[in-house]
Amino acid sequence: MDARLAALADRLRGLLGAEQVITDPVRLRTYECDGLTSHRSTPAIVVLPDTAEQVAAIVRECAAAGVPYVARGSGTGLSGGALPHADGVLVVTSRMRRILEIDIPGQRAVVEPGVINLDVTRAVRPYGYYFAPDPSSQQICSVGGNVAENSGGAHCLKYGFTAHHVLACEIVTPDGELVELTADGPGYDLLGVFVGAEGTLGITTKITVRLTRVPETVQTLLAAFDSIEAGGGAVSAIIAAGVVPAAIEMMDALSIEAAEAAVRCEYPPGAGAVLIVELDGPEPEVAAQFAEVERLCRDAGAFEIRVAADDAERALIWKGRKSAFAAVGRISPAYIVQDGVIPRTALPRVLARIDALSAESGVRVANVFHAGDGNLHPLVLFDDAVPGAEQRAEEVSGAILDLCIEHGGSITGEHGVGVDKSRYMPRMFTDADLDTMQMVRCGFDPAGLCNPGKVFPTPRLCGEVPGVRRGAHPFEGKADLF
Amino acid sequence: MRPLDALAKVCGDVRPGDPADGVLGVEPAVVAAPRNVAEAADVMRVAAENGLAVVPRGAETRLDWGAPPERCDLLVDTHRLDGLIEHAAGDLVATVQAGLPMERFGEMLAGRGQRLALDVPLPGSTVGGTIAAGVAGPLRSLYGTPRNLVIGLTIVRADGQIARSGGKVVKNVAGYDLGRLFCGSFGTLGLIVEATFRLHPVPSSTVHVARSVNGPQDAHDTVQRILHSAVAPSAVEYISPGTVAVLLEGVPDGVAARARKTAELLGEGAEITDTAPDGWGQYPDGTTLLDVTAPPPALRDLLTILGPDTAATWSGSGHGHVALPADTSPGEVAEIVTRLRNTLSGHRGGAVVRYAPQKVRDEIDLWGPVPALTLMRRVKDQFDPRHRLSPGRFTGGI
């Protein structure tokens, strides 16, 4: 470690105590990656603050020393958003796990950033409430991470994303100041842009979340189809009928095979696709719409429909879907989890193209998706023992993103851009678009120390006055960016 | 070349301003009405080259909100930017230009059984103005405000660059969400030219259930019973002088059963009607209008301060409007605003004055405390370094 970082570590020990500052190389290795293990970088220093004031003091020290820092919650992110900086500080929020306030009359709770997503729901469930964002990792992911990534989940089709369930955040700005951002206060909606900024605008230290009333009833069915096309037809018919289900999930034959091998979910044999449709809300409402959904599935060619009679049967239906990512490990030594979005109506066309891509390249692709909102999670399978296989899989994975963009979709629906997809951003946005987004970053973090190198392929020079050049720029000729 | 001539070279509808174009009394030198996004970009570029202060205008329904601009050289009128770009009904998504009136947009969508789940309290208001003011009505309880429904936004920057964020799909976390940042930015960050919205199906059945309440405590308790029930309302409203009303939407059988349950929860005297009660979805009447942020537990305090005679509406989402009549003296307005801010701050709320007579404006701070003002100023400086976009219209002199 160089002298500057060593001096910073000493100052941080002075702030936090020696136990909460890690510089031992072996212990640092624990933090070298998040859920995206293909990118690794060991941080110079890891700090484990207890309080917002400590986080602010850490940021001030980093700013004074010109050292970059990255915040990390539970490290479950899938785009490398919490990938540490090798010459920087990793601020881990795992000791900030207090639920500070539960306000049922106001339908809100105030939590620290390290609080586990599902723990919010556990704490308020006795009052008939829950925290709606439900990413698959909700048993371990942190609310602070949800804020950074604007996390969704299977039920965001009806209930929206984290941005819709966060009313206020106390943040530490890159200046090291504690400031509250609110959704409904006077002035700019800075909260709106902070949520989903992947930790590049500051560190969240306190989150006021909206609590959602537990629905009176939940009904879940599993419908089996011969083909993905038939399943896709059912999805379109349900949406066209004006039904807004809580969730519509689809799996193709290969992902069903994997789930079967892993958890014996016993989905109908011979299915080319299964659809899981969940409705929730007031009983009479759900009863009427559920009957219609069953009919629409049958009309679309479902050869078997199973309706969950109770929570246990519902869990069984969801078991295959929820285990799908991990299950693919049973049928392939390695795989890439892709996250792309297309307009729902483009589903049949895009899936046919993915099939063709797979056939041409010989790379197998298992498809699992949030069909209701067109969010695809293709799992691109490869054998990491075969030379060149990973690269071929990467190529197919990238080609799938191109398909998403070509059809008017997005390169990420919920996993974020992070380090993984910043290179794809120019395929979706122009230089001017990216430059404009980075104006916000320059406003918050002109020094570029807060989670640098994420989201954007090239940083913007913050001193630059937009659109007005003062003399020759050293990087002139490289569009509006440097 | 004079600015007017320079603008006329790039835009087919340019004329000198007149007193009727005044923004809170500040008369623009020139009015330009671009007919497409490219023309709007050219207009903004010419404005930048000439150092012109620019104020966007939709249908003028909320142009009297906020402070008057420090100067206004150019008014950019969006009424010719009124096209529907795309309605992808199967995807429940539509893209429109900023000058399209909300009601006309609603009619276009209704033909396919869909809607943008935002109320239109002021007839004629445009899509762009609705976003710029960040406004919503009773449906905000379930569907939120424009920030929840805008999924893609195209703006023209102060320097004339066209920039997009978001996209055409609802689920999308690629890049910063500038759509949310622009909601409620009152023309101070850029010119909004196109927006893509998430849509919802028009419910097949709708009823209102309402009951008169007796004072602040009863209003509070009645709202609480509905909020913590399983009737899943689309909106819960308090409307002065003393009505709590609930909107239920869904399939006919479901709505009928929920309406009965809602009536029971509201208590004796509750009425189920097919039409909305008086005052539903409208701003209360007065010459001074306040926006209040008041979470449900604050309703009792809010109504206690206002007393039975003040016109007010409030949504169960924690947001309300208060109107004060013309005969309220500036000192009285200032006192009410101060009392509201002091009390609501204890509930993490606040009060912002949207419009008021000039003599009232002279006595009060329209905005109240703004915790993140430093950051807001820095964001503004990035988007508009020369402070030419609606200068002085917004909080903190932005």
Inter-chain touch B174–A442, beta carbons under 8 Å:
no
Domains of chain A: 3-92 (3.30.43.10), 99-213 (3.30.465.10), 215-327 (3.30.70.2190), 332-420 (3.30.70.2740), 435-482 (no CATH)
Chain B residues whose CB is inside 8 A of the A462 CB are: 382
pLDDT digits (tens, 9 = 90+) for B97-146: 999 999 999 999 999 999 999 999 999 999 999 999 999 999 999 999 99
B372 to A416: CB separation less than 8 angstroms, yes or no? no
What element of type H or E holds A274? strand A273-281
Q: Are strands A89-92 and A45-47 parallel, antiparallel or unpaired?
A: parallel
Out of A179, A188, A412, the one facing B173 most closely (by C-beta) is: A412
Give the side-chain half-sphere CA count within 13 A for A95: 15
The count of domains in chain B is 4
> Which of these three, B244, B273, B302, is where a domain ends?
B273
Euclidean distance between CA atoms B3 and B40, whole angstroms: 15
Is a pLDDT exceeding 90 seen at residue A472?
A: no
Binary contact (A289, B251; C-beta < 8 A): yes
Asked if B161 and A444 come within 8 Å (Cβ–Cβ), the reply is no
B172 → closest Cβ in A164, A183, A341? A341
Same domain (yes/no): B9, B52: yes
Q: Which one has a higher pLDDT value, A471 or B92?
A: B92
The reply to whether ipTM tops 0.95 is: yes
**pLDDT surpassing 80 at residue A470:** no
pLDDT (mean) for A454-460: 92
3-state secondary structure of A433: helix
> How far does B18 lie from chain A, in Å, by closest CA?
30
Domain boundary among B170, B201, B232: B201
Residue A288 near residue A243, CB atoms below 8 Å: no
Q: Cβ distance A95 to A49 under 8 Å? A: yes
Q: Convert the pLDDT of each residue in A241-294 to its tens digit.
A: 999 999 999 999 999 999 999 999 899 999 999 999 999 999 999 999 999 999
Let me know whether B210 and B192 are in one domain: no
Nearest to B368 among A186, A410, A443 (CB): A186
The domain that holds B48 is classified in CATH as 3.30.43.10
Torsions phi, psi of A105, nearest 5?
A: -55, -30
Taking every pair of C-alpha atoms in chain A, what is the biggest distance, in angstroms?
72
Contact A373 B381 (CB under 8 A): no
Residue A210's CB is within 10 A of a number of other CB atoms, namely 19
Provide the shortest C-alpha distance from residue A309 to chain B (in Å).
21
> Are the beta carbons of A413 and B161 separated by less than 8 Å?
no
Contact residues on chain B for A193, CB-CB shorter than 8 A? 176-178, 180-181
Contacts of A161 in chain B (CB under 8 A): 171, 173
B341 and B245 fall within a common domain: no
Which A residues in the span 92-131 are in contact with B, Cβ-Cβ below 8 Å? Answer: 103-108, 128
User: For residue A464, what pLDDT is reported?
Assistant: 53
- Measured over the CA atoms of residue A279, residue A243, residue A124 and residue B223, the dihedral's sign is negative
pLDDT of residue A323: 86
Q: What phi and psi, each to the nearest 5 degrees, are found at residue A394?
A: -60, -40
Tokens of B4: 């007017």
Chain A residues within an 8 Å CB radius of B348: 168, 182, 208
Q: Dihedral angle at the C-alpha atoms of A191, A193, A195, A199, nearest 10 degrees?
A: -110
Tell whether B90 is within 8 A of chain A (Cβ).
Answer: yes
Residues B233 and B341 in one domain: no
Whether residue B8 sits in one domain with residue B52: yes
DSSP E strands in B269-349: the ranges are 271-273, 288-293, 311-315, 319-324
How far away is chain A from the Cα of B381, in angstroms, using its nearest Cα? 8
Q: For position A348, what pLDDT does the model report?
A: 87
For residues B95 and B14, membership in a common domain is answered with no
Residues B136 and B210 in one domain: no
Q: Which amino acid is at B277?
A: P
Between chains, do A421 and B174 touch, taking CB under 8 Å as contact? yes
Instruction: State whether the Cα torsion A109-A113-A115-A117 is positive or negative.
Output: positive
Q: B90 and B73 in one domain?
A: no
Q: In this structure, is residue B154 part of a structural domain?
A: yes
Query: Which residues in chain A touch residue B368, judged by CB atoms under 8 angstroms apart?
Result: 186
Tell whether omega for the bond before A84 is within 30 degrees of 0, i.e. cis.
no
Shortest distance between the Cα of A269 and any Cα of chain B, in A, equals 31
A276 by Cβ neighbours in 10 Å (0-12 / 13-18 / 19+) ranks as buried
B369 located within any domain: no
Q: Are residues B210 and B249 in the same domain?
A: yes
pLDDT (tens digit per residue) in A70-88: 999 999 999 999 999 999 9
Q: In this structure, is the dihedral angle defined by the CA atoms of residues A347, A416, A255 and A314, taken in order, positive or negative?
A: negative
Q: Is A215 on the interface with B (CB under 8 A)?
A: yes
Quick one: closest CA in B to A464, which residue?
B382
Chain B hits for A107, Cβ within 8 Å: 227, 295-296
Residue B373, domain member (yes or no): no
- pLDDT tens digits, B19-58: 999 999 999 999 999 999 999 999 999 999 999 999 999 9
- The answer to whether the beta carbons of residues A8 and A89 sit under 8 Å apart is yes
Quote the pLDDT of residue B160: 98
Provide the angle, in degrees to the nearest 10, between the axes of the packed helices B373-383 and A431-444: 150
Is the per-residue pLDDT at B374 higher than 60?
Answer: yes
Q: What's the CATH number where B267 sits?
A: 3.30.70.920
- Residue B39 sits at φ, ψ, to 5 deg, of -65, -40
Per-residue pLDDT at A97 exceeds 80:
yes
Q: Which residues of A touch B383 (CB under 8 A)?
A: 436, 439, 466
Task: Count Cβ atoms below 10 Å from residue B334 Cβ, excluding itself.
Answer: 17
SS3 label, residue B199: coil
What does the alpha-carbon distance between residue A459 and residue A446 come to, in Å, rounded to a whole number? 11
- Output the DSSP codes for B143-156: H--HHHHEEEEEEE
Cα atoms found within 13 Å of the Cα of residue A146, Cβ hemisphere only: 37
- Inter-chain touch B91–A344, beta carbons under 8 Å: yes
- Domain assignment of residue B281, yes or no: no
B368 domain residue, yes or no: no
What is the domain range of residue B249? Answer: 205-273
Question: Which candidate from B147, B174, B179 shows the least CB-CB separation from A425?
Answer: B174
Percent of chain A with pLDDT over 70: 96
B contacts of A190 (beta carbons < 8 Å): 181, 372, 375-376, 379
* Residue B109: inside a domain: yes
Other CB atoms closer than 10 Å to residue A50's CB: what's the count? 17
Q: What is the pLDDT of residues A382-406, one digit of tens each?
A: 999 999 999 999 999 999 999 999 9
Question: Which alpha helices (DSSP H) does A242-384 contain, by range?
Answer: 253-263, 283-299, 311-322, 324-327, 347-361
* B173·A105 Cβ contact <8 A: no
The domain that holds B327 is classified in CATH as 3.30.70
* Average pLDDT estimate for A340-348: 93
Is residue B280 a part of any domain in this protein?
no
Chain B contact for A162, CB < 8 A? no
- In a domain? residue B232: yes
Average pLDDT in the A445-449 region? 96
Tell whether B90 and B183 lie within a shared domain: yes
B226 and B186, same structural domain? no
In B181-240, the residues whose Cβ lies within 8 Å of chain A are 181, 183-185, 189, 200-204, 224, 227-232
Q: Give Cα B19 to chain centroid, integer Å.
A: 26
* Cβ contact, residue pair A186, B232, below 8 Å: no
Query: Which residues on chain B are in Cβ contact (under 8 Å) with A425?
Result: 174-175
Among candidates B177, B319, B398 on the partner chain, residue whose Cβ is nearest the Cβ of A184: B319
Say if A410 is an interface residue toward chain B (CB within 8 Å): yes
**A430 part of contact set with chain B, CB < 8 Å:** yes
Residues 35-74 of A with CB under 8 A from B: none
How much is the pLDDT for A378?
Answer: 95
Q: Do A181 and B372 touch (CB under 8 A)?
A: yes
Please tell me the distance from the alpha carbon of residue A149 to that of residue A143, in angstroms, as a whole number: 10
3-state secondary structure (DSSP) of residue A367: strand
Question: Is B168 in contact with A192 (Cβ distance < 8 A)?
Answer: no
Instruction: Give which of B37, B112, B115, B169 to mutate to test A binding, by max A Cβ within 10 Å.
Output: B169
Instruction: Return d(Cα A256, Cα A155) in angstroms, integer.
Output: 21
Give contacts of B 257-316 with A, CB under 8 A.
257-258, 293, 295-297
B364 bridge partner residues:
none
B88 and B139 belong to one structural domain: yes
| A471, pLDDT greater than 70 | no
Q: Which CATH number do you get for residue B150?
A: 3.30.465.10
**Considering only CB atoms, which chain A residues are within 8 Å of B171?**
152, 156, 161, 341, 370, 373-375, 410, 413-414
pLDDT exceeds cutoff 80 at B163? yes
* Angstrom distance (rounded) from CA B193 to CA B113: 26
A374 touches chain B (CB under 8 A): yes
User: Is the model's pLDDT at A461 over the cut of 90?
Assistant: no
Task: Give the pLDDT of residue A480.
Answer: 30
What are the pLDDT digits (tens) for B59-79? 999 999 999 999 999 999 999
Contacts of B203 in chain A (CB under 8 A): 242
- Centre a 10 Å sphere on the Cβ of residue B16 and count the other Cβ atoms it contains: 11
